[in-house]
């Protein structure tokens, strides 16, 4: 697959991450949208939404059936670059509960290859509350390693002990920056130093602006930072510099 090899080429150099501390752990944010935890040799990816297009097709909306392939190819590139011992998929890995059942054979094989020789954890999400079928890996509702807890939906509390070291997805954070009368909107990581929200990784996943009400349940207003995904680096901004949609 030519697209696959081009991704490999992009990631053969040691991946450069933007390092930030969360609850005492040094974590690397990568411009592909994945999280790298070097001490644990762990890669975290959120909201793959595999088989999203086919989920729509069932209702007569024939979106291009290439999203699963595109997402998996991108993931394969990242896996090749980091070579993690453990992978955590932070929920909504499939767009609906039947998604893993629909997964076409070539993609199933591709995913299985990625899982070979690795500890693989499926965290359940609101789109995929059940364990995926005919795939390896352990399925959990949430999981903790050391001071970090991995779950799909953030707990809607601020400054609580429960949310310290929370790594989550679900919200699909995106941010808009305005400059020279033009505005640019990108997916992003969002963090206040105590917890971290990952961007959605899937090819057909949109984003929810971090100025939306939903984020006021988890961050103090304007007291958080975002890291916008650029072409080969991340762009940090404080929330006060951002505009709504």
Partner 1 sequence: MDAAHLPDRFQSWFASRGWTPRAHQLQLIDHLSQGHSTLLIAPTGAGKTLAGFLPSLVELERQGKRKPGAAGRGIHTLYISPLKALAVDIARNLEAPVTEMDLPVRLETRTGDTPSHKRQRQKLNPPDILLTTPEQIALLLSDPASERLFASLRTVILDELHALVTSKRGDLLALGLARLRRLAPGLRTIGLSATVAEPDDLRAYLVDQPDTDERALAHLVQVSGGAQPDITILDSEERLPWSGHSSRYAIGDIYGLIKKHNVSLLFVNTRSQAEMVFQELWRINDETLPIALHHGSLDVGQRRKVEAAMAAGSLRAVVATSSLDMGIDWGDIDLVINIGAPKGASRLAQRIGRANHRMDEPSRAVLVPANRFEVLECQAALSASRRGEQDTPPLRNGALDVLAQHLLGLACADPLDALATYEEIRSSQTYRYLDWEIFEKVLDFVATGGYALKTYEQYAKLRKGKDGLWRIAHPKIAQQYRLNVGTIVEAPMLKVRLVKSKADGRRTPVGRGGRMLGEIEEYFIEQLAPGDTFLFGGEVLRFEAIRESEAYVSRAKTDNPMIPSYMGGKFPLSTYLAASVRAMLADPESWKELPDQVRDWLEIQREKSVLPRKDGLLVETFPRANKHYMVCYPFEGRLAHQTLGMLLTKRLERMGAQPMGFVANDYALAVWGLRDLSSLFSSGRISLDELFEQDILGDDLDAWLAESSLMKRTFRNCAVIAGLIERRHPGQEKTGRQVTVSSDLIYDVLRAHEPDHILLKATWNDAAEGLLDISRLGELLARIKGRITHTGLSHVSPLAVPILLEIGKEPVYGEAMDAILEEAAQELVLEALE
Closer residue to partner 1 (CB): 118 or 176: 176
Instruction: Decide whether 45 or 229 has the Cβ nearer to partner 1.
Output: 229
Least distance from C-beta 70 to partner 1, angstroms?
6
- Coil vs helix vs strand at 142: strand
Task: Rank residues 86 and 241 by Cβ distance to partner 1 and give the closer one.
Answer: 241
Of 48 and 87, CB closest to partner 1: 48
Q: How far is the CB of 145 from partner 1 (least distance, A)?
A: 29
Among 46, 45, 47, CA closest to 81: 45
Q: Are 72 and 201 in contact (CB under 8 A)?
A: no
- Rank residues 156 and 245 by Cβ distance to partner 1 and give the closer one: 245
* Paired residues of 145 in beta bridges: 148
Give the DSSP letter string of 21-89.
Answer: EETTEEEEE-TTS-EEEGGGTEEEE----BTHHHHHHTTT----TTHHHHHHHHHHHHHHHH--SEEEE
Least distance to partner 1, CB of residue 219, Å: 17
Q: Please tell me the distance from the alpha carbon of residue 71 to that of residue 144, in angstroms, as a whole number.
A: 26
Question: To the nearest whole angstrom, how small is the minimum distance from the Cβ of residue 162 to partner 1?
Answer: 25
Which residue ranges make up the site for partner 1 (CB under 8 A)? 3, 52, 54, 56-58, 60-67, 69-70, 104, 172, 176-184, 186, 203-208, 228, 230-231, 235-238, 241, 243-245
Minimum CB–partner distance for residue 165 and partner 1 (Å): 26
Please give the DSSP secondary-structure letter assigned to residue 244: -
* Dist. CA 149–CA 168, nearest whole Å: 8
């Amino acid at each position: 697959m030519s697209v696959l090899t081009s991704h490999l080429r992009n990631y053969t150099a040691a991946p450069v991450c933007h390092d930030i501390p969360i609850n005492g752990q040094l974590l690397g944010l990568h411009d592909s949208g994945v999280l790298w935890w070097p001490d644990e040799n762990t890669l975290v990816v959120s909201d793959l939404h595999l088989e999203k297009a086919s989920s729509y097709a069932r209702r007569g909306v024939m979106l291009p059936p290439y999203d699963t392939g595109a997402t998996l190819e991108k993931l394969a590139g990242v896996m090749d670059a980091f070579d993690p011992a453990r992978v955590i998929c932070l929920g909504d890995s499939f767009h609906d509960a039947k998604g893993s059942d629909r997964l076409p054979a070539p993609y199933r094989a591709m995913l299985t290859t990625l899982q070979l020789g690795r500890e693989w954890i499926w965290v359940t999400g609101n789109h995929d509350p059940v364990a995926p079928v005919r795939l390896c890996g352990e399925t959990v509702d949430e999981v903790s390693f050391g001071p970090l807890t991995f779950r799909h939906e953030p707990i809607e509390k601020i400054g609580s002990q429960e949310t310290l070291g929370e790594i989550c997805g679900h919200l699909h954070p995106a941010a808009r920056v305005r400059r020279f009368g033009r505005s640019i909107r990108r997916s992003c990581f969002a963090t206040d130093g105590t917890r971290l929200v990952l961007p959605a990784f899937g090819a057909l996943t949109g984003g929810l602006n971090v100025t939306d009400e939903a984020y006021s349940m988890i961050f103090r207003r304007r007291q958080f930072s975002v890291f916008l995904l650029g072409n080969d680096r991340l762009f940090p901004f404080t929330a006060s510099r951002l505009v709504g949609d």
